């Protein structure tokens, strides 16, 4: 997705690349250890010939309260870096899935104490499919779900039976 970098770098795609890097580095407002690129919610950045910059982001959950804030943060980051005439568009299709979280993003989540999604997003169709989640602190597989819904829409609450610590689990979507 995003920037076309094939061929010689003309001035316009040097700018596109720069704009992508700036938008990609914006932290998620709810989990600031990961960036928008880590989460896979930055879908593309384009620079038009007339100088306009268009960044496309996609919401995680329909009701995610951070969606508008994220758009605002991308806008401000690009302007701070000297880009003018910036627009942020929200794209609904294709729908975001936790499969788009990068390997680096998953590792950052784990290091922060949030267990990354364990299965592919298709697995939630099973009505009572229990998900085996490893504790992000001690890596024990002996954990239990306390609540399907945690402090933000994307997380569930778990508890580790080995080290007894509660932790957040980033749900598959």
- Contact positions vs Zn ion (CB under 5 A): 135, 137-138, 140, 160, 162-163
For 2, 21, 94, the CA distances from 82, given in Å and listed in that order, are 20, 13, 31
**Interface mask toward other proteins for 150-169; x: CB under 8 A:** xx-x---x------------
41 forms beta bridges with: none
Give me the least distance between CB of 11 and other proteins, in Å please: 34
**Could you say which of 4, 111, 146, 164 contacts other proteins (CB under 8 A)?**
146
* Residue 81 CB neighbour total at 10 angstroms: 15
Which residue's CB is nearer to other proteins, number 12 or number 120?
120
Whats the size of the chain, residue-wise?
A: 173
CB crowding 50-62: b at 16 or more within 10 Å, else e: eeebebbbbbbee
- Tell me which of other proteins, Zn ion, none is bound by residue 135, counting a contact when its beta carbon lies within the kind-specific cut-off of 5 to 8 angstroms: Zn ion
Q: Decide the pairing of beta strands 53-57 and 86-90.
A: parallel
Count of residues that bind other proteins according to CB under 8 A: 27
* Alpha helices in the chain, H assignment, sequence order: 11-24, 36-39, 67-80, 103-112
Under the binding rule (CB under 8 A), the answer on residue 44 touching other proteins is no
Q: Of residues 116-135, which lie at the interface with other proteins (CB under 8 A)?
A: 121, 124-125, 127-128
List of residues contacting other proteins (CB under 8 A): 59, 61-65, 92-97, 121, 124-125, 127-128, 146-151, 153, 157, 171, 173
């Amino acid at each position: 997705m995003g920037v076309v970098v094939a061929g010689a770098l003309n001035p316009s795609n040097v700018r596109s690349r720069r704009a992508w890097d700036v938008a990609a580095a914006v932290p998620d407002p709810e989990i600031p250890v990961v960036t928008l690129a880590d989460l896979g919610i930055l879908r593309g950045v384009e620079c038009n010939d007339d100088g306009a910059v268009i960044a496309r982001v996609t919401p995680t959950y329909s009701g995610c309260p951070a969606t508008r804030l994220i758009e605002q943060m991308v806008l401000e980051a690009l302007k701070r870096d000297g880009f003018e005439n910036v627009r942020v568009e929200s794209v609904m299709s294709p729908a975001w899935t936790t499969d788009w979280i990068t390997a680096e993003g998953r590792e950052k989540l784990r290091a922060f104490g949030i267990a990354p999604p364990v299965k592919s997003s298709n697995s939630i169709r099973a009505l009572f499919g229990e998900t085996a989640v490893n504790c992000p602190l001690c890596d024990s597989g002996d954990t239990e779900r306390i609540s399907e819904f945690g402090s933000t829409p994307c997380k569930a609450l778990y508890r580790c039976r080995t080290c007894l610590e509660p932790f957040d689990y980033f749900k598959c979507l």
